[in-house]
A and B are shown apart, each in its own frame.
Chain A
């Protein structure tokens, strides 16, 4: 099996789906002639032509608006938003329209649209290239919110998202693009939306995480195992809908839950996970549900030492594991 980076896996997923289904097309800023700012669509213009690989103006509202209309007309658009930080002009198209189209039309209108968004910090990107915005969208019914962490999951979930008949917001952590490599099968496969995965088995503490934080959590789990603490690590993979059974099964077993996410702590994905555990797993809890997340700052800071302070990392996770383990 070949080792691939996350960005290669994403490129492959789109390439294969565009070959498989001629209704699939891509649009976004600089995605055609320049192959995208992260080169996710490099070479696509030559292969699929300008009718299916479309450079757009700097206008997110129109990128998503065009996608929305095309999707309602039977096409399968993949919209690339250059950075998730820039999504705000398109929020009305996503939340106001795409999320409600099926419901509001009694199922007549479908929106088979994928909005790809590179997100997350730890890349010295500063205030406008580091945001985590997934929680805003996960609040809204009618949207799928997907956030893979590995090349394998990225490819399988993106293919599944492109085939979905409802809108999917596909969050790709920038730092994983080239820094995370892993095996990706040559054979065709997809991964169902809404299924978390236990990435590491353990019996003492459950870590629930997603995105870049999965990799730090895995690092921490491996290190702390030397101290005799066995951590079970759950990668949510899909944020909306959240895979409750996988979380509850694990916490019922371990009795302790640590939720690790990069976004600001307050009202983030971790708040929902904590509530799920408190509601449905109360009698199995043997310690406080702990959230380890970014501080409530307006943005990821640009100054390197401040950014390091902002970001959850392996050391912080180790510290949280030790505290919760000692409880």
Chain B
């Protein structure tokens, strides 16, 4: 009869083998235990002996094939075996019981230190749901972390204390300024990129979160006709560039006008102090400057006492310093009110966040030519939106409205008679 020869099982953890060189060819007579074929597994290289005496009639797996254990690799013709008498060994029940069953424990032994722990084997055997170490349990509870969503980096995928720390690093820091908010665990995929916080980024994050969560902020937006300001600036800019070496922008006009205006509206130049309000004597205007590592807000001190040109020089100096990362603590300290020229980026409306501990912030938006109605006639005018955000704890809409209207009027009054070189 014809019998199929299977690739035998070698070793408990081996599941397949690569067929090597065949040592017999079809037609060869083979004695029992004669080597038939070489088999290469990841554990052993071996010669498979023939289980029978007979003639090799067909090779079913050729050299280089990857064959699972138990799969047929050849056919042999065996004499003396009839088809209806398959020779198969079946152990009786008694001997089965005597031999017993090998139980593969799903739980690994912990590292005992003195015994050699083969971590490669343990990894496969660790069950998917596992118990957590006391440190992991305590930290997860403390930080409200769902451990089923945490990817473990420990032995067999165990969640280590460090894994939990990695999840909490954000909320640990966040908790310093968000006392009651629970941070949802961040689901980070392998492809996602992690950007570590620079000190500046962290500072901005803390400051802005504090602003957004502790200050009741109200904003108001107004249109300002800056046609005459545009004309003035156009008439000055070439001579200015030649004399000063840098471009005259609108920002110095805004800073100067805001500083003058603040003199009449002290609440806008103040600080909330929990049980009282501190009206600041100095008017120090902070301006937003893009720096390599993030937003910087350097300060033009006593902006109400210096000329527009001087303000322009100061701004130019601060911007250069900001771009080169040279701003010092001295440059960014003491601001009492912030002006952010969002118009430089093309924005027409924005809702700025107060820069703590200040009381208000103003944005000046893009200047756009628009048809407007003046004395029932349509005129083309340069229009700019300004947005004021203020701390509602310190003032109400009336005070803030009075300031922004005053500011609007002052900006609209800037014209060819405005002196940019003399101190106000």
Residues in B neighbouring A255, C-beta threshold 8 A:
133, 135, 161
Residues in A neighbouring B189, C-beta threshold 8 A:
none
B32 at interface by CB-CB < 8 Å: no
Chain A 271-325 residues near chain B, CB threshold 8 A: 282-288, 290-293, 295, 316, 319-320, 323-324
Chain B 344-363 residues near chain A, CB threshold 8 A: none
B160 at interface by CB-CB < 8 Å: yes
Residues in B neighbouring A290, C-beta threshold 8 A:
111-113
Q: Which residue on chain B has the smallest CB distance to residue A252? A: B135
Tell me whether A285 and B133 are in contact (CB under 8 A).
yes
Say how far B169's CB is from chain A's closest CB, in angstroms. Answer: 15
Residues in A neighbouring B133, C-beta threshold 8 A:
255, 285-287
Tell me whether B155 and A326 are in contact (CB under 8 A).
yes
Q: How far is A258 from B160 in the complex, measured between Cα atoms in Å?
A: 17
Q: Which residue on chain A has the smallest CB distance to residue B164? A: A286
A102 at interface by CB-CB < 8 Å: no
Q: How far is A255 from B133 in the complex, measured between Cα atoms in Å?
A: 10
Q: How far is A323 from B137 in the complex, measured between Cα atoms in Å?
A: 21
Tell me whether A288 and B111 are in contact (CB under 8 A).
yes
**Which residue of A258, A282, A326 is within 8 Å of B113 (Cβ)?**
A258
A265 at interface by CB-CB < 8 Å: yes
**Which residue of B113, B119, B134, B158 is within 8 Å of A284 (Cβ)?**
B134
Tell me whether A326 and B154 are in contact (CB under 8 A).
yes
Encode B122-162 as 1/0 by CB contact (under 8 A) with A: 00000000000111111000000000000000110010110
Residues in B neighbouring A293, C-beta threshold 8 A:
114
Residues in B neighbouring A319, C-beta threshold 8 A:
116
Q: How far is A293 from B113 in the complex, measured between Cα atoms in Å?
A: 8
Residues in B neighbouring A316, C-beta threshold 8 A:
114
Tell me whether B135 and A327 are in contact (CB under 8 A).
no
Residues in A neighbouring B135, C-beta threshold 8 A:
255, 283-286
Say how far A261's CB is from chain B's closest CB, in angstroms. Answer: 11
Tell me whether B113 and A320 are in contact (CB under 8 A).
yes
- Could you tell me which B residues sit within 8 Å of A by CB distance? 110-114, 116-117, 119, 133-138, 154-155, 158, 160-161
11 further A-B contacts with Cβ under 8 Å, apart from A323-B111, A327-B110, A327-B160, are A283-B135, A286-B133, A286-B160, A286-B161, A292-B113, A293-B114, A295-B114, A316-B114, A320-B111, A320-B113, A327-B154
Chain A 33-62 residues near chain B, CB threshold 8 A: none
Say how far B42's CB is from chain A's closest CB, in angstroms. Answer: 22
Q: Which residue on chain B has the smallest CB distance to residue A285? A: B134
Q: Which are the 5 A-B pairs with shortest beta-carbon distances?
A: A323-B111, A286-B161, A292-B113, A286-B135, A320-B113
Residues in A neighbouring B136, C-beta threshold 8 A:
286
Residues in A neighbouring B110, C-beta threshold 8 A:
288, 327
Would you give 17 A-B contacts (Cβ < 8 Å), ordered by A?
Answer: A255-B161, A258-B113, A282-B134, A285-B133, A286-B135, A288-B110, A288-B111, A290-B113, A291-B113, A292-B114, A316-B114, A319-B116, A323-B117, A324-B113, A326-B119, A326-B155, A327-B160
**Which residue of A286, A295, A324 is within 8 Å of B111 (Cβ)?**
A324
Encode A244-284 as 1/0 by CB contact (under 8 A) with B: 00000000000100100000010000000000000000111
Say how far A321's CB is from chain B's closest CB, in angstroms. Answer: 9
Residues in A neighbouring B160, C-beta threshold 8 A:
286, 327
Say how far A113's CB is from chain B's closest CB, in angstroms. Answer: 37
Q: With a 10 A CB-CB cut-off, give which of B111, B137, B154, B160 has the most chain A CB atoms.
A: B111
Say how far B70's CB is from chain A's closest CB, in angstroms. Answer: 34
Q: How far is A288 from B111 in the complex, measured between Cα atoms in Å?
A: 8
Say how far A156's CB is from chain B's closest CB, in angstroms. Answer: 31
Q: With a 10 A CB-CB cut-off, give which of B110, B114, B136 has the most chain A CB atoms.
A: B114
Q: How far is A286 from B134 in the complex, measured between Cα atoms in Å?
A: 6
Q: How far is A287 from B152 in the complex, measured between Cα atoms in Å?
A: 14
Q: With a 10 A CB-CB cut-off, give which of A282, A283, A288, A327 has the most chain B CB atoms.
A: A327
Tell me whether A283 and B138 are in contact (CB under 8 A).
yes
Residues in B neighbouring A285, C-beta threshold 8 A:
133-135
Residues in A neighbouring B155, C-beta threshold 8 A:
326-327
Contacts A255-B161, A319-B116 given; does A327 touch B138 at CB 8 Å: no
Residues in A neighbouring B111, C-beta threshold 8 A:
288, 290, 320, 323-324, 327
Say how far B355's CB is from chain A's closest CB, in angstroms. Answer: 38
**Which residue of A265, A283, A292, A323 is within 8 Å of B134 (Cβ)?**
A283
Q: Which residue on chain A has the smallest CB distance to residue B119? A: A326
Q: How far is A197 from B273 in the complex, measured between Cα atoms in Å?
A: 49
Q: How far is A293 from B115 in the complex, measured between Cα atoms in Å?
A: 11
Q: How far is A128 from B9 in the complex, measured between Cα atoms in Å?
A: 52
Residues in B neighbouring A258, C-beta threshold 8 A:
113
Q: Which residue on chain B has the smallest CB distance to residue A326? A: B155
Tell me whether A327 and B116 are in contact (CB under 8 A).
no
Say how far A217's CB is from chain B's closest CB, in angstroms. Answer: 13
Tell me whether A323 and B113 are in contact (CB under 8 A).
yes
Q: With a 10 A CB-CB cut-off, give which of B135, B137, B154 has the most chain A CB atoms.
A: B135
Q: With a 10 A CB-CB cut-off, give which of A285, A290, A295, A326 has the most chain B CB atoms.
A: A326
Tell me whether A323 and B119 are in contact (CB under 8 A).
yes
Say how far A224's CB is from chain B's closest CB, in angstroms. Answer: 14
Q: How far is A164 from B165 in the complex, measured between Cα atoms in Å?
A: 46
Tell me whether B114 and A265 are in contact (CB under 8 A).
yes
Q: Which residue on chain A has the smallest CB distance to residue B116? A: A319
Say how far B15's CB is from chain A's closest CB, in angstroms. Answer: 26
Residues in B neighbouring A295, C-beta threshold 8 A:
114
Residues in A neighbouring B116, C-beta threshold 8 A:
319
Q: With a 10 A CB-CB cut-off, give which of A255, A258, A282, A316 has the most chain B CB atoms.
A: A255
Q: How far is A320 from B135 in the complex, measured between Cα atoms in Å?
A: 21
Q: How far is A80 from B113 in the complex, measured between Cα atoms in Å?
A: 35
Residues in A neighbouring B137, C-beta threshold 8 A:
283
Residues in A neighbouring B112, C-beta threshold 8 A:
290-291
Say how far A74's CB is from chain B's closest CB, in angstroms. Answer: 47
Residues in B neighbouring A326, C-beta threshold 8 A:
119, 154-155
Say how far B154's CB is from chain A's closest CB, in angstroms. Answer: 6
